[in-house]
Structure 1
Amino acid sequence: MKRIALLLIAAAVLLTGGAGAYNPYAPNPFDAMEQNSWEYQYVYDLTKDGLTDADLSKFSPSYPLTRFEMVPMVEAALRNRNQATEEQQKKIDRLAEAFADDLALAGVYPSQLAPSTGGQPFEWKKEDVQ
């Protein structure tokens, strides 16, 4: 009797353990981006200005550009941020925030690409006073 109860408990744990692994509300990176979304418009504008290292042919109305394809464009815009105007930098920053999870999956962290503030390094070792 104990053996059957343990098997039922183990089966219940195994069956319900994977239920939280799938999130149907998470954005699918392979879904086509809406062409009237702000993200699409920002990436398009930055591509027109030559900051995403991408070709404008990707923005054809007949070609459904996906979020997955936009991640390298946003990464390139982040790398070219120092060449951008102030308005373009605001767009790049907003895109970096919106694509933060996707960029992290690609191994890119916007804070690593930010220009140095020129601060002084912190010296953690104590100096010997004699």
Structure 2
Amino acid sequence: MNNNKDTYFLKIRPLSISDYETVLEWSRHENFCLANQWELNREPDEVYSWWHKCVNNTANNFIRMGIDIEGNLIGYTDLANITNNSAELGICEQLKGKQTSRIPHFEVLEYRSYGYV
């Protein structure tokens, strides 16, 4: 349990279709889309269809999980090209530059994306 109100823990969790509104919000931010190589100006139905596929992915060599802080989805992480003892790790974060009421001391400053081999 977290007893320090200024400390927050990341949780890696399964994606959910209920995350769609958050993902739709991300899709409306140009800098987020550019940083994470998303198409710009996607229609909500297109974003929903894409997210539905992400949530229901069953590929053997690819896993996508949500990154959560205190119940708020802030990004997702991918393990891709999984073979034997290796995989590529990618992280996509929502960094909006504002504080939230649920996480008063968590201020996000920018958009970024990482890829590791």
Larger RCO (CA under 8 A, 6+ residues apart): 2
TM-score (norm 1): 0.29
Hey, which of these two has a bigger chunk of helix by percent?
1
